[in-house]
Homo-oligomer: A and B are copies of this chain.
Amino acid sequence: MRNGTKKNISRYTLSIRHQGWVRSVRSQKEVLFLHINDGSSLENLQVVADPSLGTRDLTFGSAVEVQGKLVKSPHRMQNMELKAETIRVVGPCDTWAFPLKMKERHPLEYVRQFPHLRCRNNTLSSLLRVRSEATAAIHSFFKESGYVHIHTPIITSNDCEGAGELFQIETLNEAKEPAEKNHFFDVPAFLTVSGQLHLEVMAGAFTHVFTFGPTFRAENSQSRRHLAEFYMVEAELSFTESLQDIMQVMEDLFKTATSTVLSKCPHDVELFHKYIAPAQKGRLEQMLKKRFVTITYSEAVEILKQASQAFTFKPEWGCDLQTEHEKYLVKHCGEVPLFVINYPYDLKPFYMRDNEDGPQHTVAAVDLLVPGIGELCGGSLREERLPFIESRLQRLGLADAYQWYLDLRKFGSVPHGGFGMGFERYLQYILGVDNIKDVIPFPRFSHSCLL
């Protein structure tokens, strides 16, 4: 009720005009009760009015403007109520056609069908407030730690990473006659899958940089963990030779953002922990007090090999950890966030730093696994040594395409590293939301791009 309330102090009572949407109407013989919500919090303002002020238009979902006096409420559940002098229905609501119903707790799958109306549902409006608060907390965390914010590009001509899952961009003319030579940018252009390589450019001039923007994967998946358009928080630190430094920032970011959300949106978070994920209740506060656990990839494989559980994919050094493995590891380590470090060299992208160990050859990579979600963040030290990165790119046949990336190592190269955190997965984790489609305002996934 923070906004939309214009105050005007009279001698003894506060005369205000309050605006919002009707969440409930209860008409008794002597008195009319309304609950009005203006979106600034879950809390409604109770309006008490003479039944004569009621009209047929005053229904659930309608937009109203109430003029009256703010008085102390006789009810224990609320501090104040508004004694209405006038009630104006600004925008009526056709309640029969309106898909949301009064006092009904609609399932998330149901409201997902109405992307243009679901923000009027309590669960989604709480989600959007939490998302907004978490966004601000992440920006503040980096700002206060001296990071420079960089808008890494959305459209890119880099196409060498994960080529199958890229979205390509065409102008409408090109789409009609796809002549190779007619590209708007002269070259094929794609939607970014990560801002990392562009952040590495900036890590050659600033010691701390971050980006927080949309990234894209054309994954043909209906999974509850994947979207075609999702947000990533990515950071890059220069002058560090230690993976621990990177992990410390990951842990600090996670804990700072989460404490801020818990303290700024207690009621919104409570709604999720009460109705959506009861098991989550109190777990976050506990987790914030603990240190995250760290194990190496090799230790992880040993733990999995000794597990009594039968896995669909047999754990083996040199193979990717599957979701079933990640879940087991998190459980084994006490259901706390778990860093797994030093992955096999051959499993990871070209830019990760060679640990020069053997015979089990690894790179300085880290994944952060969290209960219920699996991988939340991924990071690494980057290979800053020209001969190492040059020979690796040559073996991959990418040395020409990445000449600019090699340049970064030719001119004042510094040891550096960074990480990315999936913002939607973060929200899923802290709120206990099962389906990623319910933590983003307008979900895009295969076969669906509503609005």
Contact = CB atoms under 8 A, between A and B. Distances in A.
A202 B128 contact: yes
Given A120-B412, A198-B441, A449-B157, A19 B239 contact: yes
A325 interface: no
A37 to B, nearest CB: 8
Contact of A412 (B62, B238, B405): B62
Interface in A164-196: 164, 166-172, 174-175, 178, 184-187, 189, 191
Given A3-B207, A207-B40, A152 B410 contact: no
A148 B446 contact: no
A389 B261 CA distance: 39
A448 B184 CA distance: 8
B120 A4 contact: no
A433 to B, nearest CB: 16
Closest 4 CB pairs of A and B: A91-B413, A39-B206, A185-B449, A119-B205
Given A3-B208, A167-B171, 4 more contacts: A63-B414, A90-B414, A135-B149, A170-B175
A149 B132 contact: yes
A9 interface: no
Contacts of A174: 168
A184 B218 contact: yes
A410 B93 contact: yes
Interface string A60-79: 01110100000000000000
Highest count of chain B CB atoms <10 Å: which of A3, A91, A146, A216: A91
Interface string A120-142: 10000100110110011001000
A143 interface: yes
A148 B170 contact: no
Given A213-B213, A413-B91, A414-B91, A444 B185 contact: yes
B151 A407 contact: no
In this complex, the interface size class of chain A, counting residues with CB under 8 Å from chain B, is 35 or more
Contacts of A155: 167, 216, 228-229, 444, 449
Contact of A168 (B65, B90, B169): B169
A117 interface: yes
A170 to B, nearest CB: 5
A7 interface: no
Contacts of A154: 154, 191, 214, 216, 229
Nearest to A121: B205
A440 B115 CA distance: 33
Interface in A429-451: 440-442, 444, 446-451
B148 A132 contact: yes
